[in-house]
Structure 1
Amino acid sequence: MTEQTERGGALAGVRVVEVGQLIAGPFCGQLLGDMGAEVVKVEPPGSGDPMRTWGQGDTPTWWRVIARNKYSVAADLRTPQGQALARKLILKADILIENFRPGTLERWSLDPEDLLKLNERLIVVRVSGYGQTGPYAKRAGFGGIAEAMGGWRKIVGEPDRLPSRMGISIGDSLAATYGCMGALAALHERQTSDKGQIVDVALYESVLQVMEGLIPEWAVAGHKRERTGSRLPGIAPSNVYRCRDGEFLIGANQDSVFARLCDAMGNPQLAKNPRYADHVARGRHQEELDDLINAWTEQFTVDELEATMVGHGVPAGRILDAEDMLADPHFAARDAIVTVDDPELGPTPMQGAFPKLSRTPSGVRRSAPREVGQDTDEIRRRWLGE
């Protein structure tokens, strides 16, 4: 399905200026743009955002996702002329997004405090490695460093190996999502106060927010989470199991669900075995329970095991890659993947807009700008009346 429409979305009429680059700032802009905001991306003339060259293949495609629903305006923020144009646009905007090292905007004569004096309703989303305050504030910070500081990297991977990365830039994406959340909260509050504010987003704190009970488990119980591979200690069975032709994920750690899994295995008495009868017991004997389940799943193909799990109401699923997703009927039915008409690549599949709103749906209204600054004249005319 081609998803390229003129639907406004929930944020129709909201103007956003994005002066960030790479992932954290631009992904925040993508989220707002998907929800209907008009996003003007300010890029350095010539090279543009480095994201234009990131990704795999002869023609990198990541840019097509992170820059969709945006207009490109060329301005060198290191020059007075570029700063003047950016300032004019920001004074017409509802939201400014930036993800430079703290102090950079101030050096470019774009101090958010000064901008708020000129545009009291402005919301400034500032994404940085360590936040705008504190002893580490001025340090250079990337998403991977934030994942390490926030506790993520410490617990990901096999226990006998170095910490692993997730395979995507999760630290940047989490920070962008929290930045978007903060912007939406500030927009809501502005309806009462008629004033904007600064949203201070630290990459490491964005990671920290999703670390579940990591802090109190240590502070209260003296338990320090470590790397455990594919297992989550004490939560069983919940793991990847081998089939004759691949792997399959089963999550049956709740008592009633485990009983259904035992029925599916043709061994209902297993659920009454004192070693596995409740959550605590299964967690205590997690390794041997995984071995039992593996010995059973290895008899089946992935297709056969999936049918059995669905038939018995056990949460389980295939481990999909991009090729699998493009062929999956559920992705298609929910427009989880949409096809956008790119001026250079033609029809280009990518993840759809999310979350889904029933009355003011999000969507992809514009493909990513092909040329740096291609929309400068249009935005000058429409926003500035020049």
Structure 2
Amino acid sequence: MTNSASPGAGALAGIRVVELGQYISGPFAAKLLADLGADVVKVESPEGDPMRRWEGRATMSPQFAAYNRGKRGVVLDLKSAEGLAALFGLVDDADIVLDNFRPGVAERLGFGPDALHERNPRVITCSITGFGPTGPAAKRPAYDTVISATGGMYSQVVPASTIRPLGPAFSDLLSGMSAVQAVLAALHARDVNGVGEHVEVTMVGALLDFLTESASAFLETGQVSSPDSRPRRAQAYACRGSDDKAFVIHMSVPEKFWTGLLDVLERPDLADDPRFSTREARVRNYDELDVVVKEIAATRPRQYWLDRLAAHDIPHGPLNTMGDLFDDPQIASMGLVEEIEGPDGALRVPVPSIRFQRSGRPELRYAPALGADTEEITGLRTESESEPARAKEGAA
């Protein structure tokens, strides 16, 4: 597939970011900034970001590649005087410094926000932590499963009877997005007042921002939301056709979608059923209506229902897996996949979904090899890992 980027280097061309991140939240934030055109320099220890070995693939797991494309990479031992001096050299020319260390780690090693602002008063520093710098959990290790459980996310997506973590790294990804929002706002503030500032983003806080509807409902009314609370209020249903292919229907508030659905299902009698005759009744008797819709849907293949729903202009769609997604005609038409050059040849990757008509976006580049740009950027010779360690890793 040809490169679909419009002319231009991206809206953040000229902005330099130093990323001191590992795993997901910090690297994801920096990756989003790189997608917008920022020059991102990822700083790693000689052992590298642990995400590099997430699936045992030497130093380039697909997970690492996903969160680190478009960056340059350097290796620095930040516990050494030489490494710390090199970091300060990067900060002198930086606009943004991102980290996701535990609270107090950067300060202990000599490159906390105060030290960086002393070097460069215009730099914006952003720390992503699990719970922030204070409170009884502040210094605990904060991985996504812990935060998604503590922060209420699992209670909104995992049935109470299913006691296991599910889904993507919610709190990592949402806090990464919150960090991008924060540093872009801080860049604007710097344009106004001329100085940088420190920004704190918490994983648990990012979840609360995301769950604002459920949180506000509880604080106002005492109502505790569950995984089916919003589908019930939104009148959203999931069904399987006779071919076992799944799809969804979303009726929301307009009454026309309910009356249209009765035509689609060829069940006008349901309009007079007291359980379903008003929207309030359908919300109250959601489980009963769900059974009825599922039973009818199972009598015909999915495409039959999709065609009828489209003809009646009712919100609907196939329930795609990742294996289905990129073959969906709508998704395929949107140019959301592109070929880039990887270490073993061309490979397909998802592209940034935001389109800038004037600024464009940079050409996508694969994630950097460990220490790939150390000498060019810092003048230091790369000594990322010992030969025995590399040999052991290769054997694995």
Q: Normalising to structure 1: TM-score of the pair?
A: 0.90
CA contact (8 A) 1:7 1:363 kept: yes
CA drift at 1:145: 1.2
Q: Give ranges in structure 2 of 5+ residues lacking alignment.
A: 380-396
Instruction: Return the TM-score normalized by structure 2.
Output: 0.88
Match of 2:346 in 1: 347
Deviation string for 1:166-208 (max 9, x for gaps)?
4211110000000000011011111111111111000011111
Residue among 237, 240, 251 paired with 2:238:
240
Where does residue 145 of structure 2 map in the other structure?
Answer: 144
User: 1:210-266 CA distances to partner (integer Å, 9 max, x unpaired)?
Assistant: 1133334333323222354xx646326312112112221111232222222112112
Q: 1:173 to 1:110 in 2, by over 3 A?
A: same
Aligned to 1:258: 258
Residue 60 (str. 1) matches residue 61 (str. 2): yes
8 Å CA contact retained: 1:15, 1:94: yes
Give the CA deviation at 1:311. 1.6
Change (3 A) 1:212 1:73: same
SS in 1 for 2:210: coil
Residue identity in the other structure for 1:206: A
2:175 partner amino acid? A
Q: Distance in 1 between matches of 2:222 and 2:104?
A: 39
Contact 1:244 1:299 survives alignment (8 Å): yes
- What number of residue pairs does the alignment pair up? 375
Counterpart Cα distance in 1 of 2:303 and 2:168: 28
Instruction: State the superposition RMSD in angstroms.
Output: 2.2
Q: Over residues 77-130 of structure 1, what are the superposed CA-to-partner deviations in whole Å (9 max), with x where a residue is unaligned?
A: 122211111111012100001001011111111021121122111111100111
In structure 2, the CA distance between the partners of 1:26 and 1:250, relative to structure 1 (3 Å rule), is same
Structure 1 pair 199/173, CA: closer, same or farther in 2 (3 Å)?
A: same
Q: Counterpart in 1 of 2:183?
A: 183
Given the superposition, is the C-alpha separation of residues 365 and 247 from structure 1 closer, same or farther in structure 2, using an over 3 Å criterion?
Answer: closer
The more displaced of 294-303 and 210-219 is 210-219
Matches for 1:314-325 after TM superposition, within 5 Å:
314-325=314-325
Matches within 5 A, 1:109-258: 109-162=110-163, 164-228=164-228, 232=230, 234-235=232-233, 237-245=235-243, 246-254=245-253, 255-258=255-258
8 Å contact kept, 1:41–1:70? yes
Query: Is residue 2:33 matched to residue 1:35?
Result: no
Change (3 A) 1:347 1:321: farther
Quick one: distance in 1 between partners of 2:362 and 2:186? Answer: 23
| Preserved CA contact (<8 Å) 1:331 1:337 | no
Residue in 2 that maps onto 1:359: 358
Deviation at 1:62, TM superposition (A): 2.0
Q: Which runs of 5+ in 1 are unaligned?
A: 382-386
Deviates further, 323-332 or 36-45: 323-332
Which residue matches 2:86?
A: 85
Contact 2:4–2:335 (CA under 8 A) maintained in structure 1: no
Cα distance in 1 for residues equivalent to 2:4 and 2:314 = 37
Contact in 2 for aligned 1:18/1:41 (Cα 8 Å): yes
Match for residue 384 of structure 1?
none
Asked if 2 retains the 8 angstrom alpha-carbon contact of 1:239 and 1:249, the reply is: yes
